[in-house]
Chains A and B, each alone.
Chain A
Amino acid sequence: MQTKAEFINYFEQTLSPSIAPIENIRLQCAKYIKYNILLFVAMVFIVILLLFLDWLPNEQVVIPIVLVVVGFLFAIGYFSYRLMKLDYKKKYKNYLVRPIIHFVSPDLKYFPERSIPEGHFRMSRIFLEKPNIYEGDDFVEGQIDQTAFHFSEVKAQVQRSNGKNTTTHNLFHGLFFIAEFNKEFEGSTVLLPNKIGKGWRFLKRVSGLNRKERYVEMEDPSFNKLFNCYSVDDIKARYILSPALMARITNFAQKYPKQALHISFVNSYLFVAIAYNKNLFEPNYFKSILNIEQALQYFEDIQFVVGIVEDLNLNTRIWSKV
């Protein structure tokens, strides 16, 4: 694993000079945004003037002409901004995000526009509701030793209606990670963040009544403090979650206390959903691309996800699965 100091050195020596030309596109984008805002304000102001002041001669002809001209100018500005934004976003991902991903591991493959398929998201059995809106991007795939994995940003939303109004709720927003697990098994075991607290077995059992997995009390108190385990079979749950793996998961969750972790093990696959309350790997037009803070954050986010393979020791293949 690369260190933070190595990344800072890489950013300053290699990455920064190569992304410097893209900074001009960002500045132009920012200018276009300001220009559009000004144009929009001007348009509103003109419309108000035309509607409320009664001094124009031949106003039935002049008002529509003025409106069309201003609208046309606004449309030109808006579409130019959209084109430039697209161009900048593409370059941002290819010249900044991609090298950072390759810096973490040269074997990783990055597809900015792809995402984890909805079928895989649902297969994890972490979130049982079917999302009405499902989108994602920034798909990364790779292999560390014998463990193949992939992840992407995912935004899944559900729409709920009370008869009169329909509201949209976030089911999940963050990074969704899938890897081959190092043991062969069938069925599902799901680890959900423990929001109930220590003890309260009855409540934990009741809160899992909507799923086919049942609450399984594990032996590790620190693990139970962080996660509630639900599984189709308590022996299978213990086969998957060996004492060592429970300690590793606990350690991993304690290392990143800000991130709400949902983990599941389904048919020999490991799924990890890491919730974020921000869009990941997206450009900020009012912040310089040469600012190291943003790049450092990306480096840490990617390393955190890729680190799952090592942190959970997925390359230990001493059981029947080769």
Chain B
Amino acid sequence: MDIKIMLLVGAIVVVFYFLAIYNRFITLKNQGKNAFSNIDVMLRKRYDLIPNLVNTVKGYMSHERAVLEEITALRNQLNKGGLSEDEVVDLNNQISKAVGTVFVAVEAYPDLKASSNFLHLQRAMAEIEEQLSASRRSFNMAATMYNTLLEKIPSNIVGKVFGFQRKCLFQATVEEKQMVDIQSALKSN
């Protein structure tokens, strides 16, 4: 085969390969965006539920007033708007942690634990947390694959040429860490 044709075929293959890598970057970026917008929807749902939660539990929980105030403050920060992706990620982690603390503290208040209003709220919050967790995991998966592409050769060349930046991951919440424990426990059995 003529050397020119071989070079041409080689060049076409390389161009298509780089195009495929570029498209993979865009797909992962959009998958992450989609997950992030879903997180936003869930955060808003949780945002609406937070006043209910605080009002329901504050009559019972005299020792956890600081946590309740922290939740309200975090909620207000979310309401300000103009936050970067990383700031929303950070706020999300803090709210999950604080709400988790409230639900753990409820164990010490049997009357509150039995109240139908609280049970309903707990179910609604658990649902939102589960949805949030799914969106976070989706975001993290896309971000991990995206970051891996950014580091691997030769996809890192495409990343540098088009100025793609590393993505920050969501941290695992206490519940998610517990789930990992369940996983290892199951494996050891």
Contact = CB atoms under 8 A, between A and B. Distances in A.
Contact of A248 (B124, B134, B186): B186
A243 interface: yes
Q: Is the interface of B mostly helix, strand, loop or mixed?
A: helix
Size bin of chain A's contact surface: 20 to 34
Contact of A318 (B126, B134, B138, B187): B126
B131 A243 contact: no
Interface residues of B, number: 27
A242 B141 contact: no
Contact of A247 (B34, B124, B127, B183): B183
A251 B140 CA distance: 24
Interface in A236-262: 236, 238-239, 242-244, 246-248, 250-251
Q: Which of A220, A222, A239, A248 has the most CB of B within 10 A?
A: A239
A219 B179 contact: no
Interface in B173-189: 176, 179-180, 182-183, 186-187, 189
Interface string B27-63: 0000100110010000000000000000000000000
Contact of A236 (B133, B134, B179): B134
A200 interface: no
Contacts of A209: none
Nearest to B178: A244
Contact of B123 (A222, A239, A251, A318): A318
B145 to A, nearest CB: 8
Contacts of B176: 243
A48 B123 CA distance: 80
Contacts, number: 64
Contact of A219 (B38, B137, B187): B137
Contacts of A217: 141, 145
Contact of B179 (A243, A318, A319): A243
For A218, A222, A320, the residue with the greatest tally of chain B CB atoms inside 10 Å of its CB is A320
A72 B127 CA distance: 71
A43 B65 CA distance: 95
A238 B123 CA distance: 19
B11 to A, nearest CB: 22
Given A183-B130, A243-B179, A247-B182, 6 more contacts: A235-B38, A239-B130, A243-B176, A244-B179, A247-B186, A322-B123
Interface of A: 183, 217-220, 222, 234-236, 238-239, 242-244, 246-248, 250-251, 318-320, 322
Interface of B: 31, 34-35, 38, 122-124, 126-127, 130-131, 133-135, 137-138, 140-141, 145, 176, 179-180, 182-183, 186-187, 189
25 contacts: A217-B145, A219-B137, A219-B140, A234-B31, A235-B34, A235-B35, A235-B131, A236-B134, A238-B133, A238-B134, A239-B134, A242-B130, A243-B176, A244-B179, A246-B183, A247-B186, A247-B187, A248-B186, A250-B186, A251-B187, A319-B123, A319-B126, A320-B123, A320-B124, A320-B127
> Which 7 A-B residue pairings sit nearest by Cβ, starting from the closest?
A238-B134, A239-B134, A247-B183, A243-B179, A320-B127, A244-B179, A319-B127
